[in-house]
Structure 1
Amino acid sequence: MDLTAPQQHGRISLRLVRPKDARPLQNELLSNRSWLRPWEATSPDGAVSFDMRLGIRRLLQQYRDGAGVPFVMEWDGEVVGQLNVWGIARGSLASATIGYWVSERFAGRDITPTCVALATDICFSELRLHRMEICIRPENTASLRVVEKLGFRYEGLRRRYIHINGDWRDHYAFALVREEVPEGVLRRWIDGRAPQDAAMVPPADRLPA
């Protein structure tokens, strides 16, 4: 499969990031600071340079190395966010993690769940991965809704797991394995067959949102 070709569903598409995406992506990030800052990964060693061109070069190098797949999300051909498949492990693990962000002005249009479904299907069918994971802060209700819609299965609470917005933050972990979605994640969701309670967090793990 040519990952440079867009994968499309309706007005929503997902494609590999390109160097020329640096400007629109940086514009979206800068105009959405208050919307995105609470959920952005940070470094415990201090501030890092905000250089989208350099960031894209690094992401594409990881892609060439087989360590990740950096996508952009589009609505009617307009760049509206990013979705990164990262931490690809081969061999007996055959897994990866998904992270994403979308511009506030495009929220509520099912762009993120559609692109997460498309990316997961690509990873299962084309990259031959076995397990896909998404880790979400308990406070991020919009992102939790994504895994609820798609039927990702809750796997547990990870204490102080990722450095986000200046501190180590707890995360809920959700996952799917290939055998759970033989028809594909997108098709299962569109057909209304995604289990509605798979992503439910048990009372013992619930943290204040």
Structure 2
Amino acid sequence: MSAEDFLAEREAALKAGAPNFGRRASQNAPVAGLGEARDRIDQLRRQFQPRRFGTGYSPAQVDRCFDAISRAVGQNQTLPVSAVAMVTTTFTIVPAGYFEADVEAALRETAGLIRKLGLEKSAAESPTGPDDRAERVRALAATFQARRFGAGYDIVEVDTFFRSIIDFLDRRRPRLPVPVDELDRVHFAETSQGYFNAEVDAAMREIKGML
């Protein structure tokens, strides 16, 4: 789900008076924890820093997204998407944007808070559903950088493996290339000027968590 789609769903739900958004969730969420959750979300947002060089996530889109989440939590309202869809929110890449890793980590923690408070819309009810995971895997794969010096994971091998995951999520293949519980233990061959190992390993851990 893109940031613009997320915000559009929120606005449309508010205007339509949708029963699953904008309703008070006090019967599900512990009100005493709402203030702390909102404070934590605001704290995470204040940690975002724009890159001095290169590109990153659009600050305007990220700020609007976190504003919407913070307001919903502060008002004890159900969000229009599932926690899975929230984690897979994508933003436009722009010069001097926020560091992607900081925003993604904040989204994961925020999604966990939303789930604990009972303020998320279920994946089954969400307009985007769990298939947004494929977009997130594509976004992760697009961030891999090849080393200029030294060895790293074989680029062709990694790209082929990630395409197979995307094909599974897009329902173009019947199963994953390996069982879910083995995703963070996959070993790739190393070649000169391959992908940075740490970036690929972190992506594999995130994918395992979303599946």
Do they fold alike, i.e. is TM over 0.5? no
TM-score normalised by the chain length of structure 2: 0.32
Query: Which of structures 1 and 2 has the bigger CA Rg?
Result: 2
Higher helix share: 2
Higher strand share: 1
TM-score normalised by the chain length of structure 1: 0.32
